[in-house]
Amino acid sequence: MRVVITAGGLSEPIDSFRAITNHSTGRLGSVIAEEFLARGDEVVYICSSSALRPSTHCPTIIANTAREVKSVVEDVLLNQSIEVFVHSMAVSDFEVESISPELVDGKMPSDAEHPCVILRQTPKIIDLLKKISPKTRVVGFKLLKNVPEEKLLEIAAALCSRADCEFVVANLLEEIGADFHVARLVDRDSSVLERCGTKNEIAQAILKVLLS
């Protein structure tokens, strides 16, 4: 299979020194990539500059903002025949629209008492995938915190339906640690296709369901 995997956390600049970012390391994406590469699949790995990468070599494209990712994804999907797209990247929901006071030499003044940063939504990458490449099978991801499992499954199913995913990997922040990562593979009917307890199990389950 020819596969695209996105990984890592993005960073939306406020000025030349500051940015809005998240805590994603890209570890899960790298583990998933290794699982596909071990099968001999062709993997294109799209990640942020700080993201972990698979130890096995594969073509890697760096993108650090949502708009950079959008551009890269459009280019790959329009110019290559991609069978599977695993979108594990933590894309920023917002980017900077305007700043007050104005930047001085590319920096928000340090003595600004009440700086104001106006945000706007970033492009929803996952919503673009099937529109660009209808035959590509998409695996989505949803991370929430402190919600009942029923609610997690409901939201994951809604994403699955909206973005026309094969399934969504649904997880809770409090269920992720150094040696464990609880996740459920959820379809658009809120059915749990697989339950996993580690990143390796998640990677194996993704392949299992895609190949079934």
pLDDT of residue 107: 84
Q: What is the pLDDT of residue 112?
A: 82
In terms of Cα–Cα distance, which of 25, 21, 24, 26 is closest to 94? 21
Does pLDDT of 62 surpass 90?
yes
pLDDT tens-digit profile of 133-167? 999 999 999 999 999 999 999 999 999 999 999 99
How many other CB atoms are there within 10 angstroms of residue 22's CB atom? Answer: 16
Residue 54's identity, in one-letter code, is P
Q: Does the global pTM surpass 0.85? A: yes
Assign 67 a pLDDT band (cuts: 50, 70, 90): very high
Percentage of residues of the chain with pLDDT beyond 90: 89
Compute the C-alpha angle 209/211/212, nearest 5°: 65
Composition of the chain by helix, strand, coil, percent to 5 = 30, 30, 40
12 pLDDT band (50/70/90 cuts)?
very high
User: What mean pLDDT comes out for the span 158-181?
Assistant: 97
Domain ranges of the chain: 2-211
Write out the E strands in 77-125. 84-87, 94-100, 116-121
Give the alpha-carbon dihedral of 53, 196, 160, 151, to 10 degrees.
-120
At 27, is the secondary structure helix, strand, or coil?
A: helix
Is 114 exposed, middle or buried, given 0-12, 13-18 or 19+ CB atoms closer than 10 A?
Answer: exposed
96, 75 Cβ separation under 8 angstroms: no
Burial 126-139 (b: 16+ CB within 10 A, else e): beebbeebeebbbb
Residues 45, 46, 50, 51, CA torsion sign: negative
CATH number of 2-211: 3.40.50.10300
Q: Residue 99 and residue 204: Cα distance in Å, rounded?
A: 45
